[in-house]
Structure 1
């Protein structure tokens, strides 16, 4: 499967989370393509609508908003007429700014893309065995959900 991971990271927390997810996907035998959301000068390593699965990672800006670089990336693919087939979202946040804003960008992106995948939310920098286990479990669940969704689509179209 071809997976595109797009990351918006301010302090490096979300980038590190994305790296751990990418490693898990590669270990499962998938081709992983990486794009920084704020580097729009470079062509995408894999078009969003050609990827089997797009994994979006974002930090959360003031009052639970999606940061400008992720908004620009989303606007960029929309401008190209690209609509990803399957999108799962992960991110980092800080509860100190209020639980109502925690990982707000994750939830906004899920709503925008009508994603049926569960979110992965990590407070600040992913670290320790508990976070590693949560990241692996989320990645495995996303990959399994993708397989079950595409298998169901395949059966439905060929039954």
Structure 2
């Protein structure tokens, strides 16, 4: 799991997604995209599934720290096997920009996983249900992809 969070909203969302993954029996390796001082705990192409959590910058842009992470894996020749994206945004800046980074990352990586978009800080039963449903759908999609590839699957 690679996380870029400015105010803590995306980090909290990532914690909830990670907990759901762990509860389903998967190992989760956590990496803060802006922590360039330490090496990632696992190379992007060594992970069975990469989960990117990102906030959205001005005008729907991907923040610099996530762009740096993407550039870093590209420079090392790492291509994630499978990748899903979740994030937080604010509709007050315009619906056309809401969670723009999530959609940019999905397009860049050509991911066929569904996105998860949460308005600001995740809270309440509605967000909890959406997070659980998304995480379960991503894990089911992962399992169906790995089963189709006739590979053993690990998270």
- Please say whether Structure 1 and Structure 2 have the same fold, judged by a TM-score greater than 0.5: yes
Equivalent residue runs for 1:35-46 within 5 Å? 35-46=31-42
How far apart are the structure 2 equivalents of 1:35 and 1:152? 29
How far apart are the structure 2 equivalents of 1:116 and 1:42? 30
> Which one has the bigger strand percentage?
1
Task: Give the number of equivalent residue pairs.
Answer: 151
How far apart are the structure 1 equivalents of 2:100 and 2:107? 11
CA deviations on 1:129-152 (whole Å, 9 max, x unpaired) are 110110000000000000001111
Q: Are 2:79 and 1:66 equivalent residues in the alignment?
A: no
- Select the residue among 5, 11, 17 that pairs with 2:13: 17
- Select the residue among 116, 127, 131 that pairs with 1:131: 127
Q: Are 2:114 and 1:118 equivalent residues in the alignment?
A: yes
Q: Structure 2 unaligned segments of length 5 or more: list them.
A: none
RMSD across aligned positions (CA)? 0.8
Q: Are 2:4 and 1:8 equivalent residues in the alignment?
A: yes
- Select the residue among 79, 85, 89 that pairs with 1:83: 79
How far apart are the structure 1 equivalents of 2:148 and 2:22? 24
- Select the residue among 109, 126, 133 that pairs with 2:105: 109
Shift of 1:41: 1.3
State the TM-score, normalized to the length of structure 2. Answer: 0.96
Shift of 1:154: 1.4
- Select the residue among 38, 44, 50 that pairs with 2:46: 50
How far apart are the structure 1 equivalents of 2:77 and 2:36? 16
Task: Spell out structure 1 runs of 4+ moving beyond 6 A.
Answer: none
